Amino acid sequence: MTIACGFSRFLSTRVHSSTNRVLSLWFASCPCSSSSASASEPPEIAAAPETVREGRAEIFADKSNSVFFNKAQVNNRDLSIAVLRWFISKRQEEHDTQLKGRRAEIPPEQHADGLDPATTGSEDTALREESSLKAPKVLEALAASGLRAIRYALEVDGIGEVIALDNNEVAIESCKRNIYHNGILASSKVVPHLADARIYMLTHPKEFDVVDLDPYGSPAAFLDSAVQCVADGGILMCSATDMAVLAGGNAEVCFSKYGSYPVRGKYRHEMALRILLACIESHAIRHKRYIVPVISVHMDFYIRVFVRIFTSASTVKSSPLKFSHVYQCVGCNSFHLQNVGRINSKDKRNIPLPNFCPTVPQECSECGGKFVMGGPIWSDPIHDRDWAASILSNIRATSGLYQAYAKISAILTSVSEELPNAPLFVSLHSICATLKCTNPTMVMFHSAIRNAGYQISGSHADPLALKTDAPMSVIWDIMRCWVKLHPVKSQPENLPGSRILSQEPQLQASFSQATGGLVARKSPRFLPNPEKHWGPKMKAGRPLKILPIDKL
Ligand X SMILES: C[S@@+](CC[C@H](N)C(=O)[O-])C[C@H]1O[C@@H](n2cnc3c(N)ncnc32)[C@H](O)[C@@H]1O
Binding residue (CB under 6 A) for ligand X from 138, 171, 243, 364: 171
Binding residue (CB under 5 A) for Zn ion from 229, 329, 424, 448: 329
Tally of residues, the chain: 552
Nearest to Zn ion of 201, 364 (CB atom):
364
- Contact flag: residue 331 with Zn ion (CB under 5 A): yes
CB of 143 to Zn ion, least distance (A): 47
Of 28-36, 105-113, 326-334, 535-543, the segment contacting Zn ion by CB under 5 A is 326-334
For residue 14, the one-letter residue type is: R
Of 23-31, 92-100, 191-199, 504-512, the segment contacting ligand X by CB under 6 A is 191-199
Please list the residues that pair with 468 across neighbouring strands.
Answer: 456
**What span, in angstroms and rounded, lies between the C-alpha atoms of 530 and 432?**
31
How many positions of this chain bind ligand X (CB under 6 A)? 22
- Contact flag: residue 69 with ligand X (CB under 6 A): yes
For residue 97, the one-letter residue type is: T
Q: Residue 60 in contact with residue 174, Cβ under 8 Å?
A: yes
| Span 503-542, contacts to ligand X by CB under 6 A | 540
Nearest to 377 by CA among 326, 333, 440, 430: 326
Binding residue (CB under 5 A) for Zn ion from 247, 364, 424, 444: 364
For the sheet with 426-427, list strands across it.
426-427, 462-468, 456-459
**What span, in angstroms and rounded, lies between the C-alpha atoms of 282 and 298?**
21
CB of 276 to ligand X, least distance (A): 16
**What span, in angstroms and rounded, lies between the C-alpha atoms of 136 and 283?**
23
| Span 8-67, contacts to ligand X by CB under 6 A | none
Phi/psi at 413 (nearest 5 deg)? -65, -50
CB of 539 to ligand X, least distance (A): 8
Nearest to ligand X of 426, 540 (CB atom):
540
CB of 200 to ligand X, least distance (A): 8
Which does residue 425 touch among Zn ion, ligand X, none (CB within 5 to 8 A, set by kind)? none
- Contact flag: residue 304 with ligand X (CB under 6 A): no
CB of 250 to ligand X, least distance (A): 20
124 Rama sector, left if φ>0, alpha if ψ -120 to 50, beta otherwise: beta
Per-residue exposure over 39-51, b if at least 16 CB sit within 10 Å of its own CB, e if not:
eeeeeeeeeeeee
- Contact flag: residue 245 with Zn ion (CB under 5 A): no
Nearest to ligand X of 144, 271 (CB atom):
144
Phi/psi at 237 (nearest 5 deg)? -115, 120
Q: Residue 235 in contact with residue 209, Cβ under 8 Å?
A: yes
Number of Cα atoms under 13 Å in the Cβ half of residue 349: 6
**What span, in angstroms and rounded, lies between the C-alpha atoms of 463 and 471?**
21
**What span, in angstroms and rounded, lies between the C-alpha atoms of 203 and 221?**
16
**What span, in angstroms and rounded, lies between the C-alpha atoms of 460 and 153?**
29
Of 7-15, 19-27, 327-335, 431-439, the segment contacting Zn ion by CB under 5 A is 327-335
- Contact flag: residue 262 with Zn ion (CB under 5 A): no
Which does residue 367 touch among ligand X, Zn ion, none (CB within 5 to 8 A, set by kind)? Zn ion
Which does residue 171 touch among ligand X, Zn ion, none (CB within 5 to 8 A, set by kind)? ligand X
**What span, in angstroms and rounded, lies between the C-alpha atoms of 224 and 287?**
9
What is the x/- site pattern for ligand X, positions 337-366, by CB under 6 A? ------------------------------
Q: How far is CA 207 from CA 179, 204, 456, in A?
A: 23, 6, 41
Peptide bond into 440 cis (omega under 30): no
Which does residue 245 touch among Zn ion, ligand X, none (CB within 5 to 8 A, set by kind)? none
CB of 496 to Zn ion, least distance (A): 6
CB of 153 to ligand X, least distance (A): 14
What is the x/- site pattern for ligand X, positions 130-169, by CB under 6 A? ------------xxxx-xx----------------xxxx-
Q: Residue 144 in contact with residue 171, Cβ under 8 Å?
A: yes
| Span 204-223, contacts to ligand X by CB under 6 A | 214-216
Phi/psi at 268 (nearest 5 deg)? -60, -30
Which does residue 130 touch among ligand X, Zn ion, none (CB within 5 to 8 A, set by kind)? none
- Which residue ranges make up the site for ligand X (CB under 6 A)? 68-69, 73, 77, 142-145, 147-148, 165-168, 171, 196-198, 214-216, 540
- Which residue ranges make up the site for Zn ion (CB under 5 A)? 329, 331-332, 334, 364, 366-367, 369
